[in-house]
Structure 1
Amino acid sequence: MITINKYALLAASMLAVFTSSGCSSNMTKANLATQQQPVLRKAALHSANLATQTAQRPLASKAVLDEDFDTWERVFRGFKINNQYSKNPRVQHFVNYYGRNPAQLELLSERASVFLHMIVHEVDRRGLPSELALLPFVESAFDSDVFSHAGAAGLWQFIPDTGRRYGLKQAKAYDARMDPFAATGAALNYLEKLNKDFNGDWLLALAAYNCGENRVQREIDNNRAQGLPTSFWHLSLPKETREYVPRLLAFKELIGNAPRYGITLPNTPNQARLAQLRVDKPVDLRAVALQAGLAPDTLLSLNPCFRTGVTTPEYSNRIVLPRQYAHQLMQVIEDSPAASSPKVYASRSESGYNKLATTRIGKKRSSTQLAKLNSKSKTHTVRRGDTLQSIAQRHGVTVQALMKYNSKHSSKVKVGERLDVIAALAGAKQAS
């Protein structure tokens, strides 16, 4: 028998504390003034909400999940959207489409496992359908450092205006849409609001998340005026939206029945993989990772919200860490002096949206010095979910330089394409 006492152990682990308005991103000025040392935030077990969840799901009245339980199973038990939708031809189309490549789904599931516990924890706390935890599969392929051609960003692909409306600050050096914790809280707030707007119909709420509540409501009103059905399946929505909801339901079917489709999900114990650290000084994320003996991108990949690679306490004093290295990183950060702020300048992408590129303040590197950098950084092999902007940000070079020194005539990249980063860095340095 799994007992609540075992699960209570999780309350002492280092994962996010979500506030009633979503994921907290900033401290108050009073707290900031007294906060002198890095502090790891710990989990809170929301027992009141757990009781509500138990009432909603009879299975949970006999057992509460502990750390030995798999997070994927926790997702499956929280499904609430009608399973019959999986038989819809539009859903089956994407089941067949994605199901043809189980290896790709396994890779996506591995990427998802980094954030899954954090998202499911909050979805459970709010008593929402756990299908929502799969939505980043559709939105961003679980890549928190990604922009769309429409200017949407992060795991949950907030466009700038909607992000600001839900408390996600955006500045040259910081973009909360790319903070996995803050964006998750904001996305779930928005989805809860949409669900209420459409009288508890999750398919309509999800469609509105994609194309906007006004568009969905307009199509409902048009159908109603013509005496036509007003369910999601009968609305004349944009093609992307008509495919958006079926894609999510297809992922639900494939992940929820992985063995049937030859998919092996990664081992994902029911425990946090991420921790949060509060710190009130600028921190160079790459330098700290290297000092801790970790890969240089360890913290950059979890904190793409800091667009320069240096934290900005004036916008957010929270750093996301891999839980297993949290204490050693905390010690390095505590012992490190405040980092200097890098220069930030804007570049313009092909789609016309401003993106950010950065350069460190300091001595200019010669092309000879650049050539001596680690060979792994000489080229970048494009992976699924990469954009030219995210590659440029990762390597500290502009999109224009990458395009120029790789003879590219557009910002589009293909999976497997190799980009010469060293040439772009050297050329940009010489030009400056």
Structure 2
Amino acid sequence: MITINKQTLMAASIVALFTGSGCSSTLSKPEHASKQPTLRKASLHTANLAGTQASAVAQQPLQQKPTLDEDFDTWERVFRGFQLSNQYSKHPQVQRFVNYYGRNPEQLNLLSERASVFLHMIVHEVERRGMPNELALLPFVESAFDADVFSHAGAAGLWQFIPDTGRRYGLQQAKSYDARMDPFAATGAALTYLQKLNNDFNGDWLLALAAYNCGENRVQREIDKNRAKGLPTTFWHLSLPKETREYVPRLLAFKELISNAPRYGITLSETPNQARLAQLHIDKPVDLRQAALQAGLAPDTLVDLNPCFRTGITTPQYSNRIVLPRQYAKQLMAVIDALPAASNRVYASSSASGYNKLATTRIGKKSSKIAKAKPKSSTKVHTVRRGETLQSIAQRHGTSVQTLMKHNSKRSSKLKVGERLDVMAAAEGATNHS
């Protein structure tokens, strides 16, 4: 447990919150309860659900479960909370993806390391709501546990919210800020949406997951068609889009692989049952790279954890929180308190920093390990011509659609003739997450 001295608590520029479990609201205006900040208890914070509109979705009753000590492994905690039938793993579609992903255990090792940064926070919130722990694995399918990723359709973040759905669940979006890429806010919003879908489909989690992917209206139409024909209306019998037909089996395949890791040659990263992340409340613009450097950390440590701030500078008018490594919370709190308010100088997005996103920051070790920096790529401008797409432009310049979208802070793949794009030539290692 982190202790904060009295002088730090009285610092007028910041309000600290140490948790990592529980997902806070994304606020249109920063909260100022009083002129002198106080340290809030995590229990108060976790009760403030992220992305929830007051009049929208009634929450399911929260369930209390036995408390596990910090010596317990978070992966084991995930496994103990599985609720979906293990028989699904025998389905041919699930086995297809078990075999597909199982051929590359090294990649799954890497994904498990990336997941371990967010896992405690997500599973805590899933359990708090009484939901199946399989849902904690959903970012494997959605984003490969990369909080700073866009799809071709403009979906963003760990949980891949499209713009309209994100706004519907309280995730604000502006040029300099995108709450879909706030891991805490997006987790709360995603779980609220999944609870609503589960209620819509009478407690059937497979149908709820399918609806999360392709929309509840599409799933309901297919159910109605089958019912009219006297056909079964389970997920496996619906005529859904190909992506959705594969989406649910992918999740169930990850469940099978991760829960039986030794059988498939997978080595899960060590994940003690404690929060790796904390949240810090601030009321001024903060240069995240400068804060990390002054705290003796790698420059992109805070940028990688806070991709919602698209310029690398916090925007209190949209959110007065940042995510930070819990073990460095005290020193970062002191540094941020001493920093002057940052200017609006715009940084290139983190994809241009030259860091390999697949080997993400390791949080919670005794040293903050950042992937070895790659040489920075040269940048040039491409003017969009009629008929061009992001895919064709990416291929022409040897990069990926995802990298183009990140580097140009685009939230959708739509282009306008004459639009100018910064193109990363020689973008080695760029990964297309479409």
Q: Structure 1 vs Structure 2: percent identity of aligned residues?
A: 71
- Whether 2:19 is the aligned partner of 1:15: answer yes
User: Cα 1:206–1:24, aligned 2, differ >3 Å: closer, same or farther?
Assistant: same
Deviation at 1:284, TM superposition (A): 0.4
In structure 2, the partner of 1:128 is 131
Gaps of 5+ in 2: 2-15, 48-59, 353-371, 379-397, 410-418
Task: Give the distance between the partners of 1:293 and 1:338, measured in 2 at CA.
Answer: 20
- Whether 2:113 is the aligned partner of 1:110: answer yes
Task: Give the distance between the partners of 1:185 and 1:400, measured in 2 at CA.
Answer: 33
1:246-294 Cα shifts (integer Å, max 9, x gaps): 0000000000111111111011000000000000000000111111111
Counterpart of 1:321 in 2: which secondary structure?
A: strand
User: Cα 1:65–1:386, aligned 2, differ >3 Å: closer, same or farther?
Assistant: farther
Query: Which range moves more in the overlay, 384-393 or 109-118?
Result: 384-393
In structure 1, the partner of 2:375 is 378
User: Cα 1:102–1:391, aligned 2, differ >3 Å: closer, same or farther?
Assistant: farther
Q: From 142, 146, 149, give the equivalent of 1:139.
A: 142
Q: Which amino acid aligns with 1:52?
A: Q
Counterpart of 2:341 in 1: which secondary structure?
A: coil
CA contact (8 A) 2:109 2:266 kept: yes
User: Cα 1:188–1:227, aligned 2, differ >3 Å: closer, same or farther?
Assistant: same
Q: From 271, 277, 290, give the equivalent of 1:287.
A: 290
Task: Give the distance between the partners of 2:322 and 2:93, measured in 1 at CA.
Answer: 41
Q: From 232, 250, 263, give the equivalent of 2:253.
A: 250
Gaps of 5+ in 1: 1-5, 7-11, 55-59, 346-354, 359-374, 407-412, 418-432
- Whether 2:222 is the aligned partner of 1:222: answer no
In structure 2, the partner of 1:24 is 25
In structure 2, the partner of 1:161 is 164
CA contact (8 A) 1:67 1:271 kept: yes
Counterpart of 1:299 in 2: which secondary structure?
A: helix
Q: Which has the higher helix share?
A: 1
Task: Give the distance between the partners of 1:416 and 1:106, measured in 2 at CA.
Answer: 19
Deviation at 1:402, TM superposition (A): 2.4
Q: Which amino acid aligns with 1:24?
A: S
Task: Give the distance between the partners of 1:129 and 1:16, measured in 2 at CA.
Answer: 20
Counterpart of 1:402 in 2: which secondary structure?
A: strand
Q: Which amino acid aligns with 2:404?
A: L
Counterpart of 2:63 in 1: which secondary structure?
A: helix
Task: Give the distance between the partners of 2:202 and 2:407, measured in 1 at CA.
Answer: 42
For residues 67-106 of structure 1, the aligned pairs below 5 Å read 67-106=70-109
Q: Which amino acid aligns with 1:43?
A: A
Q: Which amino acid aligns with 2:376?
A: T
Task: Give the distance between the partners of 2:227 and 2:373, measured in 1 at CA.
Answer: 59
CA contact (8 A) 1:69 1:269 kept: yes
User: Cα 1:399–1:143, aligned 2, differ >3 Å: closer, same or farther?
Assistant: farther
1:121-155 Cα shifts (integer Å, max 9, x gaps): 10010010000000000000000000000000000
In structure 2, the partner of 1:389 is 405
1:16-35 Cα shifts (integer Å, max 9, x gaps): 464xxx63223866x42735
Counterpart of 2:138 in 1: which secondary structure?
A: helix
- Whether 2:309 is the aligned partner of 1:306: answer yes
CA contact (8 A) 1:79 1:130 kept: yes
Task: Give the distance between the partners of 1:195 and 1:93, measured in 2 at CA.
Answer: 26
Number of residues of Structure 1 aligned to a counterpart in Structure 2? 358
Task: Give the distance between the partners of 1:271 and 1:50, measured in 2 at CA.
Answer: 24
Counterpart of 2:305 in 1: which secondary structure?
A: coil
Q: From 394, 409, 422, give the equivalent of 1:401.
A: 422
Counterpart of 1:44 in 2: which secondary structure?
A: helix
CA contact (8 A) 1:282 1:340 kept: yes
CA contact (8 A) 1:141 1:385 kept: no
Counterpart of 2:304 in 1: which secondary structure?
A: coil
Q: Which amino acid aligns with 2:341?
A: A
Following superposition, which runs of at least 4 residues in structure 1 exceed 4 angstroms of deviation?
39-42, 355-358, 380-386
Task: Give the distance between the partners of 1:95 and 1:340, measured in 2 at CA.
Answer: 49
Deviation at 1:390, TM superposition (A): 2.9
Deviation at 1:391, TM superposition (A): 5.2
In structure 2, the partner of 1:3 is none
In structure 1, the partner of 2:43 is 44
- Whether 2:331 is the aligned partner of 1:334: answer no
CA contact (8 A) 2:17 2:39 kept: no
**In angstroms, what is the RMSD of aligned CA positions?**
3.4
User: Cα 1:385–1:42, aligned 2, differ >3 Å: closer, same or farther?
Assistant: farther
Counterpart of 2:159 in 1: which secondary structure?
A: coil
Counterpart of 1:334 in 2: which secondary structure?
A: helix
1:22-73 Cα shifts (integer Å, max 9, x gaps): 63223866x4273566x665422989x999344xxxxx5xxx3110100000
Task: Give the distance between the partners of 1:387 and 1:215, measured in 2 at CA.
Answer: 31
For residues 170-319 of structure 1, the aligned pairs below 5 Å read 170-319=173-322
Q: Which amino acid aligns with 2:73?
A: D
Counterpart of 2:32 in 1: which secondary structure?
A: helix
Deviation at 1:188, TM superposition (A): 0.2
CA contact (8 A) 1:23 1:183 kept: no
In structure 2, the partner of 1:364 is none
Counterpart of 1:163 in 2: which secondary structure?
A: helix
Deviation at 1:380, TM superposition (A): 5.7
Deviation at 1:342, TM superposition (A): 2.6
CA contact (8 A) 1:16 1:41 kept: no
Task: Give the distance between the partners of 1:326 and 1:386, measured in 2 at CA.
Answer: 31
CA contact (8 A) 2:17 2:279 kept: no
Counterpart of 1:246 in 2: which secondary structure?
A: helix
In structure 2, the partner of 1:350 is none
Deviation at 1:376, TM superposition (A): 4.1
CA contact (8 A) 2:26 2:172 kept: no
Task: Give the distance between the partners of 1:77 and 1:385, measured in 2 at CA.
Answer: 38
Counterpart of 1:300 in 2: which secondary structure?
A: helix
CA contact (8 A) 2:407 2:422 kept: no
